[in-house]
Amino acid sequence: MRTNLDFSPLFRSSIGFDRMLNALEAASRAEMVDNWPPYDIVKNGEDDYRIAMAVAGFSQDELAITQEQNLLIVSGQKANGEEAYYLHRGIAGRSFQRRFELADYVKVVGAGLVNGLLTIDLKLEIPEEMKPRQIAIGTDVAMPQTKQIEADNQAA
């Protein structure tokens, strides 16, 4: 049983979470998802990921990988060739488009097609200015002189 959640109260009371709330709302609206072609998502390291997608029967020219801001789109379009009379057709050759939501700062670093397996390597590259940094604590720091306005007013 699927229930639809109303995220409008979160939109009214939160600032800066628009992308996350939109992703949650889109996920709750998702209809029956096509499960072809099959794929795996693997975390290879702290910041390294790999998508492996089984695309048997597709050549490199029939596949396209596009990265938009926070979206990775993998699509396949079979070239129109000669039609054969199949006694049994078990290898799917239909066109597809698979979408992956990417977090901020996730970049595609490479892709390859070997033996019908498309692999896409991803890396989380956080800019240096956004990484946590250690602040040194000094002992010779002079504290600024402050005035006590209330105490001066009460004495007068």
The tokens 């005035």 sit on which residue?
A: 147
Q: Let me know: does 32 contact 93? Beta carbons within 8 Å.
A: no
Q: What number of CA atoms fall less than 13 Å from residue 93's CA on the CB side?
A: 13
This model's pTM is above 0.75: no
Q: What residues contact 114, with CB distance under 8 A and at least 6 apart? A: none
pLDDT digits (tens, 9 = 90+) for 2-50: 556 666 676 666 666 666 767 777 666 655 556 788 999 999 988 899 9
Partners of 73 in beta bridges? 66, 99
